Amino acid sequence: MVNKIIWSIIGGTLWGILFCAALAGLFIGINQNLVTIVSALLMGILWSIIISMIWKSLMARQDESSKNYIIAGIIGGCFLGSAIGGLMLAILNRDANFGKVYILGAFLGGSFGFIWSLFKPPMFLGGMRIWGKSGAILGGIWGSFFGTIIGMVATVCLVFWSQANLDISADNLPQLLIAVLIFGSGNGAIGGTISGIIFGGLIMAPPLPLALELIGIRGAIVGAIWGCFLMAIAWGIIGGILSITIGDDLFLNLGISAQVTLLRGVIIGTGIGSIWGIISGAFWGGFGRIEN
């Protein structure tokens, strides 16, 4: 168990650094030099595909398709290319915020790996009609996931359809979009979890879409649903604690300039956790990090 926790934290930390560096690289490239970031993406994809095909020729079976290796190369190339391109631009412009993104990514990824190593999806909750305690658990899991998706879409639509009180420009669009997505997903995840617990406990909730081998697309689906639920809870608690101990300064870089109360800190933390849980859970589940 200790070894599993250690390796999960290490793997999550590396994944978090790469993911946040890639996001930061894209934002820096879009705002500063789009040609540089596009060139880095193309080079990253090219070299990642070449490395993937070399790996296939050395390690894979002769009759194995090249499709999955090409897809893996494209995805890996996008991450590496945007991370490297953003790092180059950050060094040239002496942007210290890129280093803060590395630290944030390491913390997010390490916490995700730690929480992931302690829990498993509730595989034992099977059957056509699930209610009571088991239904409440499943309802909360489903509600958190769908609430996050619906909350993000609904909030973005509401904000950009009623632009009267917003100063939207190319400079503040990325920051505004991040703040909107975090608030929308946080409110959606909280509302969806509460509604799902009530609905599933009193009426019924569907089981998770399980399969014998939780890897690939099905593993990614289960991982996204389960990861969203776990990280929404964990980061909702962390967000509430940080809003009390640190206050407004922590959230200013997220585009949130209003006073951060306890409730708002919980919503912000839940939003960050639910988004991160969906993305990271899908990634880990897709690569078979869910145990049956």
C-alpha 278/C-alpha 21 separation (Å) is: 18
> For all residues of the chain together, what is the average pLDDT?
77
Quote the Cα angle for 200-201-203, to 5°.
65
266 and 160 together in one domain: yes
The candidate with the shortest Cα–Cα distance to 232, out of 142, 98, 99, is 142
114 and 225 together in one domain: no
Domain boundary among 118, 135, 159: 118
67 and 175 together in one domain: no
Report in angstroms the alpha-carbon separations of 119 from 48, 53, 141: 33, 35, 13
Global confidence as pTM: 0.65
What pLDDT score was predicted for residue 284? 79
51 and 63 together in one domain: yes
Instruction: Quick: pLDDT tens for 34-86.
Output: 787 888 888 888 988 888 888 888 776 666 777 778 888 888 888 888 888 88
Question: Taking residues 77-101, what's their average pLDDT?
Answer: 80
C-alpha 25/C-alpha 31 separation (Å) is: 10
Choice between 78 and 165, residue whose per-residue pLDDT is larger: 78
Choice between 52 and 4, residue whose per-residue pLDDT is larger: 52
271 and 288 together in one domain: yes
What's the structural domain count of the chain? 2
Domain boundary among 86, 101, 118: 118
Query: What is the dihedral sign for C-alpha 238, 239, 243, 247?
Result: positive
Hey, how many other C-beta atoms are within 10 angstroms of the C-beta on 116?
27
Range of the structural domain that residue 224 is part of: 121-292
136 and 260 together in one domain: yes
What pLDDT score was predicted for residue 256? 56
189 and 271 together in one domain: yes
H-run or E-run covering 71:
helix 67-92
Domain boundary among 89, 118, 147: 118
Confidence band of 173 (pLDDT split at 50, 70, 90): low
